[in-house]
Amino acid sequence: MLVTVPKYRLFFGGEILVRLAWLAIFFAVGGAATAQAQEPAVGTPAASTQLAPLQASPKLNLHTKIQDNDIASFMVADKMETDQDGKVILIGSAQVRRIDSVVKGDYIDYQKDTGQVRVRGNGLIMRDGSIIRGPAMDYNMDHESGEVDFPDFWLGAGGGSGTASKGEMFSRSEMRLNDVTYAGCPCPDPAWYIEAPKVDFHIDDNEGVAHNGVLYFKGVPLLASPYLSFPLRKERKSGFLLPTYGGSSNSGLEFTLPYYFNLAPNYDLTLTPRYMAKRGVQLGSEFRYLGADYSGQVSGTYLNNDKQAQQNRWMYWWQHQQTFGGGFYANVDVSKVSDDNYFRDFSVIGLNQATTNYLPRMATLGWSGAKYWTASVQAYTYQTLQDTSEGAGYLAPPYDKLPELYVRGARYDWGGFDVASTNYATRFVSPVYKGNVPQYQPYNGIHILPDGTRYSSYNTISYPIVRAGWYVTPKIGMHLSQYNTEWYGLPQYAGFPRTQSRAVPIMSVDSGMTFERKASFFGNDAIQTLEPRLYYLKVPYRDQSQIPVFDTGLATFNFSQAFDENIFSGGWDRIADANQLTLGLTTRWLDESTGFERLSLSAAQRIYFANQYVTLPGGAPRLDKKSDYLVGVNAALTDTLTTRFDAQFNPENNKRNRMTAGLRWQPKRLATLAATYRYERDPQQMSNPAIVYNPNYVNLTKEQVSVTAQWPLTKKLFTLGRIDYSLQEKRSTQSIVGLEYKGDCCWTARVVYQRYAVSLKDTNTAVFFQLVLGGLGSLGTDPIGLLGRSITGYQNITSPVPDKTTFERYE
């Protein structure tokens, strides 16, 4: 016997729980309201007049032991009928909601005891943000399994969607579809899709598997596979990554097919076979790991018997960071390659890697567990990669540090004083020179440079006086050092002492002021500043000609170094004597409303009150009374046009020693033009102009012009490029030309041509192709990193798409 129920909302199971919950809420709120209405008693302390906070009733606790079958079902329909067996028939705009699943349709019959739902007409199943539609479906809400005819489906937050002839749901996370068309792009008319007679979705594993699937782009098949795996969400999963391909003049046509192992949430592995037509098959790998107190990665490559070089080629790189507690930590950065030309032959990311000259290997154990003290012990070694082309010259390897102990203590604003102590103890081991090196003896088991140990301690005390608009900072310091040197009887060091000490006091006074006034900049209200700065430095002369030079060089003279304590950089093997005053002046124009800097002009120069006699080996004493002029200009002439200019001029001979000039115009997004000019005279010429007459002298002056661009040709087609031309070498050192196409939805295409110098005489030519399919990945070599480094102001033509959430389709 059927009973017709005129009401259209019913609860099954859990009615008593719901009623008890509402009663508990009523009494809890009513009790709180009564408490708020009571007046405080006369004589009650003021603190007791504050109302007691609300407290949750224990009757409202969540019942975690309730079985899924005992959770209430909620149904909606225009008409409902039930029979004696408990089957409910819902007709017209029917819905059944239970736990987090929703079933809809024109007609539903629901057996509560078994959880079985039969839907006919406009069926819909929603769970975890995923939606499946079909004209007819049978579904079990208890087991979350069933079948659906001719389904249309949307898979959760990933946005993947498609159609099929039949769907089978085995559980919440397992589903199989037949005769499937699938696309991971949310567009109405996706540019790419996958067709397969059978697709298995493993939702918890974030994997879809198309059996005998074909990947189509614009209706054209690109890739076919009997087992095509693809991600369902933006999460990691094991499987083959999309292949990459390209080519270069060094290696010929290239093809890679990476395989990714998602081993655990905190570590993974990628294996990358790389076929190079001219060289053979190279195997690359990368292992990443992450723990609570450590992280790192290990990567490497191996090519057995390179067909071009006729030798095995390899590379490895290990980075590790570790914390031990108590302020202790450790870092490791170790890398090595098989030969000098490894990066020149195998680089596919452009000029930066191909011109790698030094590979440092470093291990550090440090401590920073005290308030004012830090310490570390480090070991440094280097692999120096020589340019083996004819006429390239020899690159001197740096000293190894085996090891270096560092201790620093500092306390600031200690009764107004800043106190610091920096201490090093370093063992320097001379590098090994290979072959016949003109400026060194051949290495035949004998030492050609000294080894030694350097102990240094620099202790300073300063008293900063800072007031509104001005400051003065007097500072005094004492640099103490001792050298224990093994000269190995080398004739050029005859008579040099094995042990020697040095004590150099350093005194300076730094001062500056800032003035402001209202002004106008091209008719706009502005604030102009005037910022003079004076820096006086006094360092007495100490004869250092017999001290070895382990890691010290001449610093680049710029606005920062002009106000430094030493003209030598690196270690403290040379401390320049000084009696000098540095004058600096900067003026800025700032927008009055925003503070944006429209224009800044800077100038600086040193005035020398005495000659400087401390030099590096082979250098000449400085006898000038004034240093080079430093000038700098930075201007934002409009909101889209900026320019900068920096230069170093010699006032004695009116020659430039360094110069940089740049102009950048960016009228809108994805439209940028930039040009830069750089000049740097060989530092050896600046310290000793007569060196140009040395017959063995190699001029290292650099002069280069760079032009970069990214510009729209149409609304969808963009061009980009870069040209670096060395005026000193009279050749192009890098050229990049490319085209980018932005598709209607979910796809982008790029082709990039690059030619770059890998040595003094050799160049490499490479071509990159890339097709980016939104929601799937990219085919071809990804040049985005190269473009971002090389093209000034480069912007990706694909706007970032915000991630969707599980609740995107929540009802």
The domain that holds 186 is classified in CATH as 2.60.450.10
Indicate if the pLDDT at residue 541 is higher than 50.
yes
Q: Give the position of tokens 């007679």.
A: 197
Name the band, by pLDDT with cuts 50, 70 and 90, for residue 265: confident
Range of lowest pLDDT (32-46, 91-105, 581-595): 32-46
pLDDT category, 50, cuts 50, 70, 90? low
Residue-range definition of the domain harbouring residue 575: 436-627
Query: On the CB side of 260, how many CA atoms lie within 13 Å of its CA?
Result: 17
**Is residue 123 one of the residues assigned to a domain?**
yes
Mean pLDDT of 701-729: 91
Residues 571, 575, 576, 582, CA torsion sign: positive
Contact present, 645 and 630 (Cβ < 8 Å)? no
Would you state the pLDDT for residue 48? 40
pLDDT above 90 (res 300):
yes
Residue 477: per-residue pLDDT:
97
Torsion angle, CA of 573/577/581/586, rounded to 10 degrees? -20
The residue with greater pLDDT, 773 or 507, is 507
Of the candidates 202, 228, 254, which is a domain's last residue? 228
Banded model confidence at residue 32, pLDDT cuts 50, 70, 90: very low
Asked if residue 608 belongs to a domain, the reply is: yes
| pTM for this model (two decimals) | 0.74
Q: Which residues contact 574 (CB under 8 A, 6 or more apart)?
A: 544, 547, 549, 552, 566, 568, 614, 615, 616
Domain count, the chain: 2
| Strand ranges in 640-716 using DSSP code E only, listed in sequence order | 641-650, 655-668, 671-680, 702-712
Helix ranges (H only) for 350-488 are 351-354
The pLDDT confidence band at residue 314, using thresholds 50, 70 and 90, is very high
| 252-256 and 655-668 strand pairing | unpaired
Neighbour count for residue 113 (Cβ, 10 Å): 10
User: Pairing between strand 417-429 and 400-414?
Assistant: antiparallel
Tell whether 467 is covered by a domain.
yes
Q: Which of 582, 604, 627 is the last residue of a domain?
A: 627
Q: Has residue 531 got a pLDDT over 80?
A: yes
Of the two residues 44 and 655, the one the predictor is more confident about is 655
pLDDT of residue 333: 95
What residue has token string 């007691």? Answer: 52
Cβ atoms of 162 and 131 closer than 8 Å: no
Contact 9, 67 (CB under 8 A): no
Is residue 562 predicted with pLDDT exceeding 50? yes
Lowest mean pLDDT among 132-146, 276-290, 300-314, 503-517: 132-146
* pLDDT over 60 at 337, yes or no: yes
Residue 792: inside a domain: no
Cα 704 to Cα 351: distance, rounded to the nearest angstrom: 15
Are the beta carbons of 77 and 90 closer than 8 angstroms? yes
Report pLDDT for 353: 56
Instruction: Kindly report which listed range (210-219, 385-394, 752-761) carries the lowest average pLDDT score.
Output: 385-394
| Residue at which a domain ends, from 602, 627, 652 | 627
Q: Is it the case that residue 109 has pLDDT exceeding 80?
A: yes
* pLDDT (average), residues 522-530: 91
Q: Is the pLDDT of residue 7 over 90?
A: no
Is 302 inside a domain boundary?
A: no
CA–CA separation, 301 vs 317, rounded Å? 9
**Beta-strand pair 552-554/568-570:** antiparallel
> Does residue 24 surpass a pLDDT of 80?
no
Q: How much is the pLDDT for 434?
A: 53
pLDDT higher than 90, residue 744: no
Residue 533 in any domain: the answer is yes
Work out the average pLDDT over 239-257.
80
What is residue 52's predicted lDDT score, i.e. its pLDDT? 60
Percent pLDDT > 70 in the chain is 83
Q: Tell whether the model's pLDDT for residue 472 goes beyond 70.
A: yes
| Bigger pLDDT: 143 vs 28 | 143
Mean pLDDT for all residues in the chain: 83
Residue 541 structure tokens: 């002369």
Which pLDDT belongs to residue 406? Answer: 97
Evaluate if residue 77 carries a pLDDT over 50.
yes
Whether the bond between 464 and the residue before it is cis, its omega within 30 degrees of 0, is no
Amino acid code (one letter) for 441: Q
The tokens of 204 are what?
A: 């918890």
Cα four-point dihedral sign 31, 32, 38, 40: positive
CB-based contacts of 358, cutoff 8 Å, min separation 6: 382, 383, 384, 385, 398
Return the structure tokens found at 6: 């005129």
Max Cα-Cα span within the chain: 120
Provide the token pair at 298. Answer: 């290990």
**Nearest CA to 233 among 128, 82, 99, 374?**
128
Residue 695 has pLDDT above 80, yes or no: no
Least confident range from 211-215, 654-658, 767-771, 797-801: namely 797-801
Structural domain contains residue 584: yes
With respect to residue 542, please indicate whether it lies within any of the assigned structural domains. Answer: yes
Q: Could you tell me the two tokens for 161?
A: 């969607």
